Structures are given as C-alpha cells and as structure tokens.
Structure 1
Amino acid sequence: MRQPALYSRSARAAAVAAPEAVDTVPQKTAASPLRTTGLGQRLAQAGTSPRVMWACMALLGMLLLASVLLRGPGGARELTQKDIDAAVLRTLTTQNLPSAAARAAEKIRPSVVRVMSFTKNKKGEDVEQGVGTGVVIVDKGVILTNLHVVQSAQTLRLVFADGSASAASVIGAQPENDLAVLQAHTIPDDLSAATLRSTTDLLPGDPVVAVGFPFGIGPSTSAGVISGLGRSFRSPEGEQEIGNLIQFDAAANPGNSGGPLVTMDGEVVGIVTGILNPTNHRTFVGIGFAVPIESAASAAGLPPF
C-alpha cells in the first residue's frame, strides 16, 4: 500500500518539546549489556551500518557459545561482561566504519531520481536538452525538482535508483521558488520516499550532504555545512530573485539542480536550486542555495510540519 509523505521532527525540536524526557530515563545498572564507555561510543558511531551490526551479532553469538562450552565439571571460568565488551570493542576498532556523510547518502539514494528533459528536432526526434535531479517525496511517484530543469521540455524521462525508467508529467509548479512537481507514469514496486525534516532548528555549521547528477554524472555525493539561512539569490540568466534560501558549501554544479540537501540523518531539509559564480563558467566556487523543504513541500500540496 502506498504511503503518504514522511516527516521527521529534528532532534533539537524534540528536545525542546519534551524536556522532561531527560528525567524519565532509567539509571543503568551493572547488569546493563552496554555501559556508557568507549564501547558504547563506538557502537553509536557505527550507526545503522548493516555490515558492522551483523559482525557484532556474529561475534556475540560466538562468545555466548564459547561461554556455554566452557562451563563444565572442570570449573573453567565463565565469560564476563568485561570479556564481551572487550571482544566487541576489538571488532569495532578493526572495522572500517562508514562516515556520517556516507550513511546519509546511503539513506537518501533510493529516493534520488535522474531527471532528463527533451525537445524535438526538425526531424521530430527527441533531443536531450538537459539533466537535473529530483527526489521522491511520496512513493506513488510524486517527485520534487526545480522548475528550470523541466521548463520548456516537450517530454520528460526519469531514471530511478533501481535503474528503471519512466516518462513523467509536470503536475504542479511554484515559480516564485523555482519548484516543479512531477508525476511518474510508471512506478517501481519498491519505490522509496524520502523523509522530510523541518528547517526550524537548522544552524550555520550544521553538516549537510547534497546528492544529485552534476554534469549528468551520478548519483554523486558531496558533503559540507550550512553556511547561512534566509539568503537571497538571483541567477545570472534570470530576472527573478528567490528569497529565504539555505546557503551551503557542499559542492554542487549544473545537474545538481532539484536534488535533495539532507542532514546526517539522511532527511531532506532543502531542494538544491542554484550556485553563485561571479563568472560565466557555471561551476561551483563554494556557495550554493537550496529552497527550504517547507516551501518545497507546499508546492506539492503537502501538509506543514
């Protein structure tokens, strides 16, 4: 069954909304399987990496089996919690753990879409006029991208993360924020929608990841931080100025337009819409802009956070 758009409350917002939660956490006892030690910190850094978690589970299984086998009439000592902690910590320190940016990119990648626009030549044949990026926000095939990616196109083609392709139609637009909403004609069975997150508690310096198809290459991932909020931007070829933008320094280039800007949790906070370059080269010099997801979601008629 198709699901509606997913929303996530940020960790900061949740903490402000429920401060009393701090007092309700039970105290850890000596019997707790993981104490707040170097081991706990290593596990937290492991995040949700399946590789690391399966390795830990296998190691724990072997340790428990060894503990059972060691019990016998000879009086061999049983494995202690300290033995288990040390063994798991040894495994974690020898594993190459994925970075936070890599985990964020892995989470959002199934929802990232290549968007190709075509026009007809004199012979009536489709000619590609540009490549951009989109992000699935509802798993029935509703996709957000930039209006300038699809504007003036006669036909649109999408390529999903699983490699399947589909034609698409523009079903909505928000020109003042350079946003367009697409509907895929053919929907993969396992299409995954991104989780959208409010921007209300974003701060300059917060790490972010941009995923897209710069110059048609991708999906490509770049990482950086939020450089500022409430910015304004006017594209060199456009007359319209867009305000209330997120400024970021994760590398973006032509083709990234319409792609998601995500937190380290892999949750979308913005739609990449432009880069600032004082020359005509249209390459990244360290300043990119994204439309906050609140504006982008409203373009698709989705409810507020």
Structure 2
Amino acid sequence: MRKTALYSRSAPRPGPTSPSSASDAEARAVPMPDTTARARWQRAAAFLGSPRGLWIAIGVLTFLLLFTLAQALRPGARALTQEDIDAAVLSTLEKTPLPSPAARAAEVIRPSVVRVTGYRAGKKGEEDIEHGVGTGVVIVDKGVILTNLHVVQAADTIKVLFADGLEATASITGAQPENDLAVLQAHKIPDDLIPATMRSTHDLLPGDQVVAVGFPFGIGPSYSAGVISGLKRVFRSPEGKQKLTNLIQFDAAANPGNSGGPLVTMDGEVVGIVTAILNPTPARTFLGIAFAVPIENAAAAVGLHPF
C-alpha cells in the first residue's frame, strides 16, 4: 500500500540566535503536523527490516524458545519472568552491537533516494548521449521527485533509477530557479514507493549531525556523515551567474553527482537538498564546504504547505 509524504516537527531546542537569523523572517519555518509517532514506527520498521535488526530479533526469539522448552521439560520448572526476558535482550545486544546513528539514518532514507541521469539526443541513428548524473529524493508516493535544476535543465531525456532497481523516464513538472530546484514526475514507479519524511529546519543548530546521500561521480547511493557548519549562508556560482541565499552549510563529503540529493538528520528526515560545493579551484571537488537548500524552499517548489 502506497504511503503519502510525511512531515515531522521537532521540539524547540534552546540555543543562541544569531542576528542574521533574527532578521531573516522569510526563513522561519511554520509549524508542521506532528507525525513523530509515525516516524518512530517507520524507523523501527526499517531497523527490524535491516540485517542487524533481523538477527537481533531472531536471537531473542531463539533464546526465549529454548529457555521455555528447557524449563518445561525440567521437573518443577519455574515460570518465565520479565527479568529473564530483560537478561536475554541485554545479552543479545551486547553480542550484536547496534548500527551507528549514521547507518540508521542511511537505512531510513535509502528507499526514497533515486539516481537522476540526463541525456542529450544523439545524431540521427545514434543513441542518446549521457549528459550528466545527479541525485533526487522522492517526496510523494506517486513518483514526485525533488532534484537540482542544473542537473536536468539541459537534458533532452531524463531517467531515474529507484532503490529497487526500476528505471523510468521522467518529466520536469516544476522549477524554482532562484533556489536551483526542479520537480520531476516519474512515468513509472515501484509498487510500494516510500516517500521521504521532511522535517523543518527551524531548530537546526551548527554542530548537528547530518548525512548527505547521493551519487558522487555516479557512484552510489553513497552516504557521508558530518555536521552542520552554519546556517543562512550565501553562495555565488563560479561563473557568477547565480546567487543562492539562506543555505545550510555542512561538511559531509559531497562531490559532482551529489547535486539534488537529500541532506538528512540522524532520524533519516530530510532537512535540505544538496545543491553546491565551494571550491575556488578548477577541480570543482569537495574541500570541506558544501551547501543545501532548506527543505522549506524545496517543499514550496511543489506546492506542499505544512511548512
């Protein structure tokens, strides 16, 4: 059964407010419907569906079964207690370490990430030529995908590759040039497409952990962890043709091909769309400074208004 896009809201956190954030009213987030419980169930389901989660569940169930049989076959056997169950769970957790926060975030967002490839029409009788590779994230279960405008705007044909291996063509249905955003509609989608959960950026702070997901140089999906380095940053393209404002600066590794991919919290919730890296050299590779468009702007590009 397909699910609609999800939104979540985090409780406000104490922290200093910079003058720039106080003066930038347009970047303030509007409260969103609280789906924290649903997000927790999604994360729990994703963990139990992962190899580690499955082995932990199998280990606990196996212990309980063997323990129950042993007690039942022994004369004067005592009943299974909560302490026995707690001890079994603790023993399993000690022997099977839980995945890192970044690994859990990657598992949650993985089904919603797509590879976006643009093609230019070849000469008559020749195949189309690959023009560029980027990333996208599914935000509505009907196949609505967010990516960067610069990834697809010069392409004659666009193809998206879903997490389950399905490849489909897609069309541009909307654009927000001032934020380098494009909205794609896939022409075919998996049977049970899972949209990402989007989360307001209103309580993000420098130092918060994030994961950038994408297809750097076409390799992926790749996951890199880091922290938010700053907020409300300004970036001007190397050619000087475009100026982007109100950006999230982060230090998780990003390279050509990461454009359009999601920047997520440790809960796997999307707070931004990766859009640029700062490198004053011709190499145009990662030097430790990357930028993402806040998800509020991205949601506005498709007419979603819980923000």
Letter in 2 for 1:9: R
1:226/1:247 contact within 8 Å kept: yes
1:112 aligns with 2:113: yes
**Of 211, 214, 230, the match for 1:212:** 214
Cα distance in structure 1, aligned partners of 2:99 and 2:3: 29
Cα distance in structure 1, aligned partners of 2:54 and 2:7: 24
Question: Residue in 1 aligned with 2:284?
Answer: 282
1:228 aligns with 2:230: yes
Deviation at 1:2, TM superposition (A): 4.5
Deviation at 1:84, TM superposition (A): 3.7
2:7/2:198 contact within 8 Å kept: yes
2:201/2:296 contact within 8 Å kept: yes
Matches within 5 A, 1:80-159: 80-123=81-124, 125-159=127-161
Cα distance in structure 2, aligned partners of 1:12 and 1:51: 36
1:298/1:304 contact within 8 Å kept: no
**Of 57, 62, 75, the match for 1:58:** 62
User: Which structure 1 residue ranges, 4+ long, deviate > 6 Å from structure 2?
Assistant: none
2:253/2:288 contact within 8 Å kept: yes
| Structure 1: segments with no counterpart, 5+ residues | 18-43
Q: Deviations over 1:22-42 (max 9, x none)?
A: xxxxxxxxxxxxxxxxxxxxx
Deviation at 1:77, TM superposition (A): 5.4
TM-score normalised according to structure 2 size: 0.82
Question: Residue in 2 aligned with 1:21?
Answer: none
Cα distance in structure 2, aligned partners of 1:163 and 1:79: 46
Deviates more, 1:129-138 or 1:223-232: 223-232
Deviates more, 1:231-240 or 1:285-294: 231-240
Q: Deviations over 1:138-182 (max 9, x none)?
A: 010000000000011111011111111111000000000000000
Question: Residue in 2 aligned with 1:9?
Answer: 9
Q: Deviations over 1:254-303 (max 9, x none)?
A: 00000001111111111000011121111111111001111001101111
Deviates more, 1:225-234 or 1:136-145: 225-234
Letter in 1 for 2:197: T
TM-score normalised according to structure 1 size: 0.83
2:229/2:250 contact within 8 Å kept: yes
Letter in 2 for 1:116: T
Deviation at 1:228, TM superposition (A): 0.9
The secondary structure found in structure 1 opposite 2:283 is: coil
Kindly tell me: are residues 262 and 79 of structure 1, through their superposed partners in 2, closer, same or farther at Cα, counting changes over 3 Å? same
Letter in 1 for 2:89: V
Kindly tell me: are residues 64 and 9 of structure 1, through their superposed partners in 2, closer, same or farther at Cα, counting changes over 3 Å? farther
Sequence identity (%): 71
Question: Residue in 2 aligned with 1:167?
Answer: 169
Question: Residue in 1 aligned with 2:297?
Answer: 295
**Rg larger for:** 1
Q: Deviations over 1:187-206 (max 9, x none)?
A: 11111111111111111111
Matches within 5 A, 1:199-278: 199-278=201-280
Cα distance in structure 2, aligned partners of 1:250 and 1:97: 22
2:210/2:225 contact within 8 Å kept: yes
Q: Deviations over 1:70-125 (max 9, x none)?
A: 4x3xx455555444433322221111321111111111111100000011233353
**Of 166, 185, 188, the match for 2:187:** 185
1:294/1:304 contact within 8 Å kept: no
Q: How many residues align?
A: 272
